[in-house]
């Protein structure tokens, strides 16, 4: 059990909604950075979505990218500052829709960065619209009758998309239980280690609740992550070439 708060977490109140998974993921980043001794050289790239709210509560160096562009901005930052550790902290709406070309081409180039995608299946900051990762039948503000796969297309799966690319690491975790949070933290730490060892592109997706836009209590939101999101998007490590190149 860990009770010590990483020093990169400030006393400021966060702006995340009660029950949001973003705060858990942000803390995992802080813990991994502290354990690896990289907190002072970590650059976190965010956009204008809910992930950007970590800027107000964490002390990392930060670059604010255009919406959907943290991954490509992080790639540029890393090329310019090879001594830094660079993390693109982004949501599923941005990584898989607005910035999908950045995600694909950064992976194809095996850019030596970490992309951390918090997947809650909606565009959270802009009002809960359907994202590429919205589940079949899931109601959102732009799909009030539920996602119709025939009409809207099938949900996007990053593992099926870049799983065959020559990248260092691809994993999906979840925050629906303490055990899963621990596993997710190890995934984030491993991705940082691979960047430190110049192994190339790592993407860690974390399944996470958005109680506000799901219209559920925090407890029911966690239940949905476990019983619906995780069933559709299995967690695990899908590419792990960090040690072999
Ligand atoms: S809108 Fe959703 S993702 Fe954004 S802070 Fe609130 S609960 Fe979290």
Ligand 1 center–CA 16 separation, angstroms:
6
Whether residue 225 contacts residue 207, with contact meaning beta carbons closer than 8 Å, is answered with: yes
* Alpha carbon of 144 to ligand 1 centroid (Å): 19
Query: Looking at the domain assignment, is residue 10 inside a domain?
Result: no
Residue nearest to atom 5 of ligand 1 (CA): 16
For ligand 1, which residues put their CB under 6 angstroms from it?
16-17, 20, 22, 50, 120, 124-125, 210-213
Structural domain contains residue 208: yes
| Sign for the pseudo-dihedral over CA of 192, 194, 199, 202 | negative
For ligand 1, atom 6, the nearest C-alpha belongs to: 17
**pLDDT at position 245:** 46
- Count of structural domains within the chain: 1
Q: Which two tokens stand for residue 122?
A: 């909606």
Give the residue, out of 26, 50, 91, 117, with the most ligand 1 atoms within 8 A of its beta carbon, to mutate for a pocket test.
50
CATH of the domain at 87: 3.40.50.970
The CA 123 to ligand 1 mean position distance, Å, reads 9
Residue 3 lies in a domain: no
Q: Which tokens hold the place of 136?
A: 């079949």
C-beta separation of 196 from 242 below 8 A: no
188 and 205 Cβ atoms separated by less than 8 Å: no
pLDDT score, position 243: 61
15 occurs within a structural domain: no
The predicted model scores a pTM of 0.96
Q: Which atom of ligand 1 is nearest to the CA of 15?
A: 5
DSSP secondary structure code for residue 138 in this structure: -
Return the bridge partners of 13, or none. Answer: none
- Determine the pLDDT at residue 244: 52
Q: Does residue 63 lie within any of the structural domains?
A: yes
Q: Are 5 and 14 in contact (CB under 8 A)?
A: no
Q: What is the pLDDT along the chain (245 residues), one digit of tens a residue?
A: 557 889 999 888 889 999 999 999 999 999 999 999 999 999 999 998 898 898 889 999 999 999 999 999 999 999 999 999 999 999 999 999 999 999 999 999 999 999 999 999 999 988 999 999 999 999 999 999 999 999 999 999 999 999 999 999 999 999 999 999 999 999 999 999 999 999 999 999 999 999 999 999 999 999 999 999 999 999 999 999 876 54
pLDDT at 2: 58
Q: Residue 216: give the domain boundaries.
A: 22-240
What does the alpha-carbon distance between residue 133 and residue 92 come to, in Å, rounded to a whole number? Answer: 7
**Is residue 234 assigned to a domain?**
yes
| Nearest ligand 1 atom to alpha carbon 21 | 8
User: CB neighbours (10 Å) of residue 88?
Assistant: 34
């Amino acid at each position: 059990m860990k009770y010590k708060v990483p020093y990169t977490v400030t006393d400021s109140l966060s702006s995340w909604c009660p029950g949001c998974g973003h705060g858990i993921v942000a803390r995992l980043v802080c813990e991994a950075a502290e354990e690896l001794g990289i907190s002072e050289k970590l650059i976190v790239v965010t956009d204008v979505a809910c992930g950007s709210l970590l800027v107000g509560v964490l002390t990392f160096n930060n670059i604010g990218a255009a919406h959907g562009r943290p991954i490509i901005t992080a790639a540029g930052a890393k090329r310019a500052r090879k001594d830094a550790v660079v993390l693109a902290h982004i949501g599923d709406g941005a990584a898989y829709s607005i910035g999908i070309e950045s995600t694909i081409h950064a992976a194809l180039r095996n850019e030596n960065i970490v992309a951390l995608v918090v997947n809650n299946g909606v565009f959270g900051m802009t009002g809960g619209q359907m994202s590429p990762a919205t589940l079949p039948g899931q109601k959102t503000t732009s799909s009030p009758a539920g996602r119709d796969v025939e009409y809207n297309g099938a949900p996007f799966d990053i593992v099926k998309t870049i799983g065959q690319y020559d990248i260092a690491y691809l994993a999906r975790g979840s925050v629906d239980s303490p055990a899963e949070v621990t596993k997710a933290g190890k995934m984030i730490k491993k991705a940082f280690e691979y960047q430190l060892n110049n192994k190339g592109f790592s993407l860690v997706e974390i399944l996470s609740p958005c109680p506000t836009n799901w219209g559920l209590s925090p407890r029911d939101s966690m239940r949905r992550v476990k019983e619906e999101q995780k069933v559709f998007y299995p967690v695990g490590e899908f590419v792990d070439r960090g040690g072999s190149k």
